[in-house]
Structure 1
Amino acid sequence: MGDWTAAEVMTALEDLGLLGEGPRRMRDLFDTAKTARDLPLDEVDKLMAEPPYAARMAAFCILDFQARARPGDVALRDAYLRHHDSIDAWDMVDRAAPWVVGSCVAGGPYDLLHDLAASPDPLRRRTAMTAPLWFVRHGTDADVLAGFELAATLHADADPLVHKPVGIFLAHAGERMRPQLLTFLAEHESHMPRPAARLARRRL
C-alpha cells in the first residue's frame, strides 16, 4: 500500500481483530504501525481521536517510528503533547516518550519536562520521567544530570505509574554515571517507594 490514511489503518487493525475486546496482539499492532509509519500528522490526529486502544496505540507507535527517523522533530513532539489526553495506558507513554519527547528536549532547556512532572496527571508525570531515557543512550552528561534532577523531583511519588519509571531511569543512568546514582540514593532512597528503590539498584 502507498500513502496510508487513518481510515486504512483502522481497516487493517479491524481485519486483524485488534479493535475489539480480545487479546492485545502487540506484534501485529506494531507491524501495522510500522507499515503505516509515514502516515501524515493530520491523519495521525484522526487516529488519536478513535476510541479503541489499538488505534491510539498505533498512532503513538507511528509517532515513535517517525521520531526515530527524525529525532528532535518538534512537530512530532507537539502532536504527542496535543494528544496527551488520549493516553490512558502506560505503554503508550513508554513506546513514544523517549524518542518523540526526549530527543526534542535534549540539550535543554528542560522546562517542558519539569512542567509535566508538576502535573496532577500521573501519565504526564510518567512522560516527564520516561522521556529522559533518550538522554542516557543518546544525550550528553548534562542531559543525564537533568534526568537525575527530574528523578529527584519525583522520587517519592506514591503512584506506581510514576515511581517505577523513576527507578528504571535511575538504573539505566547509573550504568553511565554510577557515582551520581550512588549520591542520589544516599540522599533520596529512604523516601522512595520500595519498588522504585529496588529498580534503581538492580544494575549496581
Structure 2
Amino acid sequence: MSPVEDVALRGLTVAGADGYHWIYLAAEHHPHSWPVTLDGTRPSFNLLSRHDSIGPAHARGGAMTARITADDVALRLEAAADEAERARIRKRLSDPVIQVLGVRMGSVFDIARLAQGMELAQVHLLLDSDVYEMRMVAAAVLDFKTRGRGVSEEDRTALYEVMMSRIDRFNTWDLIDRAAPRVVGWYLLDKPRDVLFDLARSDDRWRRRLAITAAFWIIRQGDLDDPLMLCTLLAGDPERLVQTNVGVALREIGRVDSQRLTRFLDQHEGELSAVARRTARTALTTA
C-alpha cells in the first residue's frame, strides 16, 4: 500500500464557505495538499487530534464536523494538480483514454482519508467520474472504510457490493490493488469464493487481476486452497498485469507454506511468465 499509510498525519479544522468546519488530514511532506476554504479564501487553521472523526454534521468536543462530498473531493484534487505529475502518471497508465489531473498519490490518499466518512452514494459519484484520481479516491475510501474500527458485517457487505456493482470502473492495475484485498478478499474470508473463480475465467484482464488480488487477504489468513486454485487457473494468463499479481500471490503463499509453493512450481512453473516465476521464487530464497 501507499507510503501515506506510514507518514505522520495531523488534523486541521477549516471554516468553509458553507458555514461548516471541515476536518482535514494532510501529510506533512505534501504541503500542496493542504486544503483551502470552499470560497477560495485563506483558511484559519486550528490543530485537532488526528482521532477526531469525520462523520455526519454534529458537535464533537466543541468542533463541528461534516461529511465531505464528491464535489469537495473534485475541488481539492484540482487544487493539488500538477502538470509534471500528470505526465508521470500518464506514463504508467496503459489506457491513453483515461483522464488524468496530475495529483501525487500521497495527496490523493490524504484526500481519501479526509473523505472516508462520506456516504456510499458519494462514493458512487466518484466512481462515475472519468478522472483517474477521482476513482482512486473512491477506491481508497472503500479500503479505509473496510479497515475502520467497529465495521459491522452489514457495513462490510455494503462496501463489497459497491465495488462489485461498479467493477467496470476499476480499470487500472492500481485501482484494483488499492481496494480488492480488503474490500473483496476480507469480505470473502468466511464465504464461498465462486465469484473469484468467475472473475478469473473472465475475458476481461482487469477482472482476472481483481480475482487474484482479492486472494492476497485470504492468503494472509493462512487459507491457501482457493488461492492456489486461482493461481492454477491464471498460471498461463497472457496478460502481464495479471501475471505480476499471480507471482505476488505465489510469493505470499510460499511465505505461509513453502512446501505447497514448491509443489505448485513443480507442476506449473513452465506456464508462468518469467516475472511471475522470479517473484514466486523469492519466497524460497534464504534471507
TM-score (norm 2): 0.67
CA deviations 1:114-169 (Å, max 9, x no partner) are 011011110000010000111222x2x4x322111111111110101111100001
Displacement of 1:71 in angstroms is 7.7
Structure 1 residue 152 corresponds to structure 2 residue 232: yes
Q: Measure, in 2, the Cα distance between the counterparts of 1:199 and 1:188.
A: 14
Query: RCO (CA 8 Å, sep 6+): is it higher in 1 or 2?
Result: 1
Out of 55, 67, 71, the position equivalent to 1:7 is 71
Structure 1 residue 75 corresponds to structure 2 residue 139: no
Task: Name the structure 2 match of 1:113.
Answer: 196
Structure 1 residue 85 corresponds to structure 2 residue 168: yes
Question: Is contact 1:71–1:99 with CA below 8 Å preserved after alignment?
Answer: no
SS at structure 1 position matched to 2:190: coil
Structure 1 residue 26 corresponds to structure 2 residue 90: no
CA deviations 1:34-60 (Å, max 9, x no partner) are 111111100100010111100011101
Gaps of at least 5 residues in structure 2 are 1-21, 23-65, 87-99
Task: Name the structure 2 match of 1:186.
Answer: 266
* Amino acid in structure 2 at the alignment position of 1:180: R
Structure 1 residue 133 corresponds to structure 2 residue 197: no
Q: Measure, in 1, the Cα distance between the counterparts of 2:191 and 2:250.
A: 19
Structure 1 residue 200 corresponds to structure 2 residue 280: yes
Q: Measure, in 2, the Cα distance between the counterparts of 1:63 and 1:22.
A: 21
Displacement of 1:92 in angstroms is 0.3
* Number of aligned positions between the proteins: 201
Displacement of 1:3 in angstroms is 0.9
Larger proportion of helix: 1
Task: Name the structure 1 match of 2:138.
Answer: 59
Displacement of 1:23 in angstroms is 4.0
* Amino acid in structure 2 at the alignment position of 1:163: Q
Q: Measure, in 1, the Cα distance between the counterparts of 2:241 and 2:103.
A: 20
TM-score (norm 1): 0.93
CA deviations 1:157-197 (Å, max 9, x no partner) are 01011111000010011101111100000010011111111
Q: Measure, in 2, the Cα distance between the counterparts of 1:48 and 1:23.
A: 18
SS at structure 2 position matched to 1:132: helix
Out of 66, 84, 94, the position equivalent to 2:177 is 94
Q: Measure, in 1, the Cα distance between the counterparts of 2:82 and 2:129.
A: 13
SS at structure 2 position matched to 1:119: coil
Q: Measure, in 2, the Cα distance between the counterparts of 1:76 and 1:165.
A: 23
Identity %: 35
* Amino acid in structure 2 at the alignment position of 1:38: G
CA-based RMSD of the aligned residues comes to 1.7
Task: Name the structure 1 match of 2:94.
Answer: none
Q: Measure, in 2, the Cα distance between the counterparts of 1:24 and 1:95.
A: 16
* Amino acid in structure 2 at the alignment position of 1:10: A
Question: Is contact 1:71–1:104 with CA below 8 Å preserved after alignment?
Answer: no
Q: Measure, in 2, the Cα distance between the counterparts of 1:171 and 1:68.
A: 24
**Cα distance, 1:78–1:120 mapped onto 2, change above 3 Å:** same
Q: Measure, in 2, the Cα distance between the counterparts of 1:71 and 1:118.
A: 31
**Cα distance, 1:133–1:18 mapped onto 2, change above 3 Å:** farther
Question: Is contact 2:101–2:132 with CA below 8 Å preserved after alignment?
Answer: no
Displacement of 1:18 in angstroms is 6.4
* Amino acid in structure 2 at the alignment position of 1:76: L
